[in-house]
Amino acid sequence: MKQALYILMCLVLVVSCNENNKPPKPENLIPKDKMERILYDLYVINAAKGVNRKLLEDKGIVPESYILNKHQIDSVQFANSNAYYAFDPDAYKEMVEKIKNRLENEKKTFEDLEKKEGIKAKRRRDSIRKRNELRRDSIKAALKKEVEN
C-alpha cells in the first residue's frame, strides 16, 4: 500500500511539474513581422545608448519611449506580446536570427559605403596635396627666376 502511495505521489509531482504555463494570446498581440521591426529598433537604439548615452540624453530622447511611440504601441502591449513570443524559444530564436542577419547586412553596407567614402577622401587629399606641390614648385621657380635677374 505504501509503495502505491509513493508511486501515486511521484506521478502527481511529475504531472504537476510538467504543467505548461503558456501565456494566453493577448487580444492586442503585435504581429510577428512588426515585433521583429520593434526588436530591431530596440537593438539599434540600445547599441546607440552604449556608444553615446550623453548625446541621447542631451537631445531629450528616451530610447524606450521613442520606440513605443514610433510603432504606436504601449509598454503593456509590448510586454505581453514579447512574453507570448518568448514562450516558444525556437520561434523567438528565429526572430532574433532574422534581426541579426538584417543587422549584419546593414553593417556590411555601411562598411562598404565607408570604404568608398574613404577612397574618395583619399583621392581628394592626394589631389589637394599634388596641387599644393605644384603651387610650391611654381613659387620656387618664380623666386629662383627673380633671384637670377
In a domain, 66, yes or no: yes
In a domain, 4, yes or no: no
Which residues span the domain enclosing 79? 25-137
Q: What is the pTM of this model?
A: 0.63
Query: What pLDDT shows up at residue 39?
Result: 93
In a domain, 76, yes or no: yes
Place of cell 618664380: 142
Amino acid identity of 114? E
Residue by residue, pLDDT tens for the chain (149 residues) are 556 555 656 555 555 555 567 778 888 999 999 999 999 999 888 888 778 878 877 888 788 888 889 999 998 999 999 999 988 889 899 999 999 999 999 999 989 888 888 888 778 887 888 888 888 878 888 777 777 76
Report long-range pairs for 106-114 (Cβ below 8 Å, ≥24 apart): none
In a domain, 116, yes or no: yes
In a domain, 58, yes or no: yes
In a domain, 146, yes or no: no
Collapse the DSSP code of 3 into the 3-class scheme (helix H, G, I; strand E, B; otherwise coil) and give the result: helix
What's the number of domains the chain is made of?
1
Place of cell 556608444: 51
The string of DSSP letters for 29-64 reads PPPHHHHHHHHHHHHHHHHHHHHHHHHHHHTT--HH
